[in-house]
Structure 1
Amino acid sequence: MIEEDTGFTSVQQLKNPRSQRQRIALISIEGDPASDNIGAGEIAGQDIYVHYVGKALAQLGWQVDIFTRKVSAEQDAIVQHSPNCRTIRFKAGPLEFIPQDNLFGYLPEFVENLLKFQKENSITYEIVHTNYWHSSWVGMQLKKIQGSKQVNTYHSLGAIEYRTIKNIPLIATQRLAIEKAILETAERIVATSPQEKQNMRLLVSTKGSIDIIPYGTDIQHFGSITREVARLLMGIDKETKVVLYVGRFDPRKGIETLVRAVNESQLRESNNLKLIIGSGSTPGNSDGLERARIEQIVNELGMGDFTTLPGLLSQEILPTYYAAADVCVVPSHYEPFGLVAIEAMASGTPVIASDVGGLKFTVVPEETGLLVPPQDVAAFASAIDRILLNPEWRDELGKAGRKRVETRFSWDVVVSQLSELYTHLLEQTVKKPPLLE
């Protein structure tokens, strides 16, 4: 929630902002919030965030333009999500996928196309909400050129990310400098958890204004199906104990820890245990290599009979998987927020997560799930058994998790806070001090 009482208008007023304040730009260059496969790839959480924030802001009365990078000639230049919300794709570099670490050199072209778009359509965005560090650089240029007010959500901090990988990319110095500059110059930074704000202060800069507004999730979509119906659809017996992982194949996601923990479970030999690893991958890419490594570990441990890897779980099918599970495990080495945790909780499924980052904010220990030290196989095994061996407690945790998401992490709650923030910043633009005589 927003930390400081800054005199924001009421939610009712926000539903009818003044016409000149209705237009807002959301910038997310690295992914594509209009993709048919939203939720896939390295920045799945960011894509979902921008997509749903845009559509929810439109329902509050804002005119929302989402800007991203076009990666193929077949993509539509404009995708209309609703009467007040659209995604606009600009060319920036070759029309092909470009790895994140190689994108920076094409950003000036993106800025040029965005300025051209504004001129051709007689638009000037008073507020731009940028996402991740490439987009934040674009926002800083718009601030310099036309005085746009900038709100930024990091989604991931280089200062932490580079601690978790062996090969630091050449762009790292540039990224860290931009992340520091945006914190010190943007009108407002949105941290998605208290832990992320703390990391910004400790690792990036003590300057700048930060508000805490978390990710959200669709509480009508997640929680729309019961465990019984979900298991019937998936052909899973009601007595089977189901452990679920959702996320990408990446060593930093801790899937190996989960696999080895399930192997140490007391239920390992019961013929009543099922592990589902829901994640997409591309053969030959880093995620494909990680999938092959995980499959090798599963086979070496003799877990193939009760472990399934169904591939990428679409947004349409995800609620069924969450509902069918007894527990969802998020064993990440680090998470700025942990979107999977609140999706599972919204589905009434308790969460076992690493005691790191934003997961310490989303999961309440002993109330909505359990937190354990990252990469601690024995601790994860013990936590999994605690929940699987106590069905009544599992149900209590699930109900408490659903209630927490309804009150703290629904899109309605989250976007109302963002809308208040934007309105407050625009009020500051309008209310200029009188000239001295």
Structure 2
Amino acid sequence: MVISPEKNVKSSIQKAPRQSIALISEHGDPAAEIGREEAGGQNVYVRQVGEALSRLGWQVDMFTRKANPDDATIVQHNPHCRTIRLKAGAEEFVPRDQLFEFMPEFVESFLKYQAKQNYPLIHTNYWMSAWVGLEVQKTHNVELIHTYHSLGAVKYQSVPNRPTIAETRLAVEKQILEQARCIVATSPQEEMMLRSLVSDAGRIEVIPCGTDLKRFHVIPKLDARKELGLKPTDEVVLYVGRFDPRKGIETLVRAFALIHHSSADPSNLKLVIVGGSAADKLDGDERQRIEQLVADLGIAENVIFAGRVGHDRLPLYYTAADVCAIPSHYEPFGLVAIEAMACGTPVVASDVGGLKFTVVPGETGLLVPPQDTAAFAEAIGRILDDELWARKLRKRASERVQQNFSWTGVSAQLSDLYRRSLAESIMGDGVILAPRKVAYSRVNTIPAKSLTNLTKVS
């Protein structure tokens, strides 16, 4: 029997084993329900990246800390992607700022899998995962890729009293930048922040976050409102995220109150706040504070606390809204912005971090100074008051996300980075392979302008 060379090649490709890689996210459980304790953008990022990489030919294990005895130790997302929950301290929820003492045990648990799978590349997420990766690298030949998600050097600028863990965190964030094969910054603004606040050494590549375009896309607005019990004539402002003082919900509530009190007929004004979990004490305390503020400002009848909402229903909220507000004090990227824009909803966001990358002022929304109540009120009011302009914003917002922020495209760039990193490790430290060039639509940040000088784009 004669077998053609083509069949031989095809057969060998089909039988070639997948390369195993590890994604580490010590507190952001990729399999967790979004909205639970400390479950947010990092969870979404790791889960979506992991699953997309598995579709590109990798064998992906995503490691996190087991925080609930009832949670499965292993969650199989698809045949080539799974979440593995490692033992690191008691199987109970522990706030992020108190987790570091359990990281040595996390390393021990991870090394048991490393002994079996021999991961040549580890992509760490957040500073404690970076510490884990650096510890593993002391005894194993692994390539480290890192994504920060949050930067201590930024966070501690606005904190009056630094926690005891601050110096450790700052040291690890500097060490991982200088020692990792590559840092993945999710926006050009994050790259600049790393260079100015952390270190001018080390290698950084900009690869943005993405969104699930099969889930987040434009749907009929009236249908969404009907499903949520909102009227066609309502003017809806939306917030999606955790109850955390740094998320700036107080600024948004006060801005909404300004709009409410200046309106001739505020009965149709609605502020919908999605997110939060009363089961989490820290989260619950901030929610109670915001609820009390809403009552004190006399806008309780116009504010809806929707609570935790599953990702399957989030598109309804985005689509039903006239404006999605993101008043964060700082965001390295801001997944909510591109989720909202994917659904055709204009964004009014703080002029900080990665939001300056995702939101194009005057085209997909507006950027305003963080913690500026009057500026948020003016920007939101401008979009609510100009339906013709708002339609143009909605169209361009959706187009921008489709062109630049799909998880498939993001993961293809990460996959390319991984393969180059592994090739560089074989060829020697002196070799650096050039990244594949990716063109983004309007990636250059438009210079900040005052709201009164912003020109509507026709």
Preserved CA contact (<8 Å) 1:243 1:325: yes
Letter in 2 for 1:23: S
The CA distance in 2 between the partners of 1:430 and 1:338, in whole Å, is: 36
* Pairwise CA RMSD: 1.7
Q: Paired residue for 1:388, among 367, 370, 384?
A: 384
Task: Note closer, same or farther for the CA distance 1:76–1:248 as it changes in structure 2 (3 Å cut).
Answer: same
Q: CA deviation at 1:43?
A: 4.7
Q: Paired residue for 1:67, among 59, 63, 69?
A: 63
Instruction: Look up the match of 1:9.
Output: none
> Are 2:241 and 1:247 equivalent residues in the alignment?
yes
Write the mapping of 1:227-246 to structure 2, written as runs, cut at 5 A: 227-246=221-240
Instruction: Look up the match of 1:339.
Output: 335
Preserved CA contact (<8 Å) 1:255 1:331: yes
Q: CA deviation at 1:42?
A: 3.0
Letter in 2 for 1:178: V
> Are 2:24 and 1:30 equivalent residues in the alignment?
no
Spell out, residue by residue over 1:72-116, the C-alpha distance to the aligned partner (whole angstroms, 9 max, x if none).
Answer: 222211110001101111101111112212211221211112112
Write the mapping of 1:31-180 to structure 2, written as runs, cut at 5 A: 31-35=28-32, 37-119=33-115, 121=116, 123-180=117-174
Letter in 2 for 1:57: L
Instruction: Look up the match of 2:5.
Output: none
- In structure 2, the gaps of 5 or more residues are 1-12, 430-458
Task: Give the TM-score normalised by structure 1.
Answer: 0.92
> Are 2:409 and 1:416 equivalent residues in the alignment?
no
Instruction: Look up the match of 2:186.
Output: 192
Q: CA deviation at 1:394?
A: 0.9
Task: Note closer, same or farther for the CA distance 1:19–1:41 as it changes in structure 2 (3 Å cut).
Answer: farther
Q: CA deviation at 1:41?
A: 3.3
- Worse-superposed segment, 282-291 or 335-344: 282-291
Instruction: Look up the match of 2:284.
Output: 288
Instruction: Look up the match of 2:3.
Output: none
Task: Note closer, same or farther for the CA distance 1:267–1:168 as it changes in structure 2 (3 Å cut).
Answer: same
Letter in 2 for 1:133: W
Preserved CA contact (<8 Å) 1:283 1:289: no
The CA distance in 1 between the partners of 2:345 and 2:213, in whole Å, is: 13
Spell out, residue by residue over 1:288-339, the C-alpha distance to the aligned partner (whole angstroms, 9 max, x if none).
Answer: 1111111111111110111110111221110000000000000111111111
Write the mapping of 1:209-358 to structure 2, written as runs, cut at 5 A: 209-223=203-217, 225-265=219-259, 266-267=262-263, 269-282=265-278, 285-358=281-354
Spell out, residue by residue over 1:201-240, the C-alpha distance to the aligned partner (whole angstroms, 9 max, x if none).
Answer: 1111110000001111001101153211101111211111
- In structure 1, the gaps of 5 or more residues are 1-15
Q: Percent identical across equivalent pairs?
A: 55
The CA distance in 2 between the partners of 1:53 and 1:43, in whole Å, is: 16
- What SS does the corresponding residue of 1:146 show, helix, strand or coil? coil
Preserved CA contact (<8 Å) 1:17 1:61: no
Letter in 1 for 2:78: S
Task: Note closer, same or farther for the CA distance 1:17–1:303 as it changes in structure 2 (3 Å cut).
Answer: farther
Letter in 1 for 2:92: E
- What SS does the corresponding residue of 1:309 show, helix, strand or coil? strand
Q: Which has the higher contact order (CA 8 A, sep 6+)?
A: 1
Instruction: Look up the match of 1:375.
Output: 371
- Worse-superposed segment, 421-430 or 83-92: 421-430
Preserved CA contact (<8 Å) 2:344 2:398: yes
The CA distance in 1 between the partners of 2:317 and 2:403, in whole Å, is: 23
Preserved CA contact (<8 Å) 1:262 1:268: no
- What SS does the corresponding residue of 1:26 show, helix, strand or coil? strand
Letter in 2 for 1:147: N
- What SS does the corresponding residue of 2:423 show, helix, strand or coil? helix
Task: Note closer, same or farther for the CA distance 1:72–1:237 as it changes in structure 2 (3 Å cut).
Answer: closer
Preserved CA contact (<8 Å) 1:323 1:349: yes
The CA distance in 1 between the partners of 2:276 and 2:27, in whole Å, is: 18
- Worse-superposed segment, 377-386 or 149-158: 377-386
The CA distance in 2 between the partners of 1:18 and 1:290, in whole Å, is: 54
The number of equivalent residue pairs is 415
Spell out, residue by residue over 1:396-431, the C-alpha distance to the aligned partner (whole angstroms, 9 max, x if none).
Answer: 111111111111111011111001100111122333
The CA distance in 1 between the partners of 2:382 and 2:44, in whole Å, is: 32
Preserved CA contact (<8 Å) 1:130 1:151: yes
Task: Give the TM-score normalised by structure 2.
Answer: 0.87
Q: CA deviation at 1:389?
A: 0.8
Letter in 2 for 1:210: I
Preserved CA contact (<8 Å) 2:143 2:425: no
- Worse-superposed segment, 221-230 or 410-419: 221-230
Spell out, residue by residue over 1:238-276, the C-alpha distance to the aligned partner (whole angstroms, 9 max, x if none).
Answer: 111100001111111111111111111143733221110
> Are 2:201 and 1:207 equivalent residues in the alignment?
yes
Preserved CA contact (<8 Å) 2:326 2:348: yes
Q: CA deviation at 1:432?
A: 5.2
Preserved CA contact (<8 Å) 1:39 1:315: no
